[in-house]
Every structure is written in structure tokens, then in C-alpha cells.
Amino acid sequence: MNPVAEVVVSIALLLGCLLTVLAAVGLLRLSDLLARMHTTAKPQVLGVLLALVGVGLQLHRATDIAMIVAIGAFQLLTVPVAAHMVGRAAYRTGQVDPSVLAHDDLAEELERERRSAG
Amino acid sequence: MNPVVVALCVGMLFVAALCALIRVAKGPTMLDRVVALDVVVATVVIGLCVEAAANRHATTLPVIVVLALVGFVGSVSVARYAAKESDEERGKR
């Protein structure tokens, strides 16, 4: 393996691990659920993608590369969906303090639904 | 791969998993624990990637696929059935 690729792999893996540490520290230090969700999405997407780049530069078989691309695409598709559902569940169960929100679109939406129903 | 890089990565992942598990233990709500467990899953996935890159094999790639899938399904199902929690359920002392 050539030295340039070696350096790129090392940097990618180190950056991915660093993102994970930062997210975990944010998980401990930030105060409410929405702020914590904001940090946790970073290692789930960018951290995993960097780690996959680190692995992908070392492998040469087409099946391995295809699987790595599939994992990356899967993370890109599923992490936002999961975060969206967790955020909505937090709002529904009253765990989000409305005073910290700059603009509350969901409240307007629910209000409109209630008025059209009643 | 340089063993110093691998050691650094493993150390950082260890600290990250520890912080996330402390958040899982503290809560206070079920959704907080779900979010923290998502970070634990991401840490395990990145750890498997580091191991695969260090030893230059592709044996653990299917494991990574399954882990990513299970993490997604787990967090979505908990979010789906999240209920209102009273203060005493959250274990406030």
C-alpha cells in the first residue's frame, strides 16, 4: 500500500473517532434532548462515512466496495429518519420546552388541524 | 497501519463509549437513552471499521451492515411507542 493512501486512511479514521468523542462529550454536557440530538447525528453520518473511507481505501474487491457504499447510503437515509421520529416523539410527549424554540412550525400545524376538525 | 494511530483511535472510541453509557445510565427520559444508545452503536460501527482497516480484511463488513440496520429499527420503534413519562417514572431524586 502506498504511503499517501496510508496517511489518508489514518487521517480519516482519526477524524471519525474524534467526531465520536466530541459527540459523546456533547451528550454529557448539553442540557436538553434537542441539543443532544444535534450532536449525536455527527458521528452517525460523517464519522461512519470517514471510517468507511478508511476501510475502503484498503480493500480492492468489488463486492467489498459495494458493501461499503451500501452501508454509507444506508446511514445517510436512515439517520435523519430516526432523528426526525425521535424529535417528534419528544415534542408529542411534552419533553420539549417551547420557550427554547425560535419558531414552532409543528404547533401552528396542530392548531390548524384542530380548527379544521372542530 | 501505524500502531500509534490505531491506539489513538481505540482510546478515543473508549472515551466516547464511556460518555455515552454514562448518559444512558443518567437518562432522564427514555428518548435520551435512545439517542445515547445511537451513539454507542455508531461507536461500535466505527470501531469495527478501525479494526478492519488495521488488519486489512473485509470479514466484519456484514456485521456492520446488520448493526446499522438494528440500530435504526431500534431507535424508530422506541420513538414510535414513546409515552408521556411522569416525574417519578424518570426517577427524579
What CATH number is attached to the domain comprising A7?
1.10.287
Among the partner residues B12, B65, B75, nearest to A86 by beta-carbon distance? B75
B83 C-beta neighbours (distance < 10 Å), count: 10
Q: Are A17 and A63 in contact (CB under 8 A)?
A: no
| Angstrom distance (rounded) from CA A106 to CA A100 | 14
A80 C-beta neighbours (distance < 10 Å), count: 13
Confidence band of B92 (pLDDT split at 50, 70, 90): low
| Angstrom distance (rounded) from CA B8 to CA B53 | 14
Q: In the A/B pair of chains, how many CB contacts fall below 8 A?
A: 163
Q: Are A27 and B20 within 8 A, CB to CB? A: yes
Q: Are A17 and A42 in contact (CB under 8 A)?
A: no
> pLDDT at position B52, please?
93
Mean pLDDT of all residues in A30-44: 89
For residue B88, pLDDT over 70 is answered with no
Torsions phi, psi for B28 (to 5 deg): -80, -25
Q: Could you tell me the CA-to-CA distances from B17 to A13, A28, B51, B59 in Å, in that order?
A: 16, 12, 16, 23
Chain B hits for A36, Cβ within 8 Å: 23, 32, 35-36
The structural domain count of chain A equals 1
Q: How does pLDDT run across B8-43, given as a tens digit for each residue?
A: 999 999 999 999 999 999 878 889 999 999 999 999
- Is residue A61 classed as helix, strand or coil in its secondary structure? coil
Q: Are A17 and B16 within 8 A, CB to CB? A: yes
For residue A25, pLDDT over 70 is answered with yes
Residue A7 sits in which domain range?
3-117
| Angstrom distance (rounded) from CA B11 to CA B70 | 25
Q: Are B39 and A23 within 8 A, CB to CB? A: yes
* Residue A3 Cα, gap to closest chain B Cα (Å): 10
Lowest-confidence region among A1-5, A41-45, B30-34, B57-61: A1-5
**Cα A52–B40–A89 angle (5° rounding)?**
110
DSSP category for residue B81:
T
Q: How does pLDDT run across A75-97, given as a tens digit for each residue?
A: 999 999 999 999 888 888 888 87
Q: Which residues of A19-53 are buried (b: 16+ CB within 10 A; e: fewer)?
A: bbbbbbebbeebeebbebbebbbbbbbebbbbbbb
Indicate if the alpha-carbon torsion angle A32, A34, A35, A37 is positive or negative.
Answer: positive
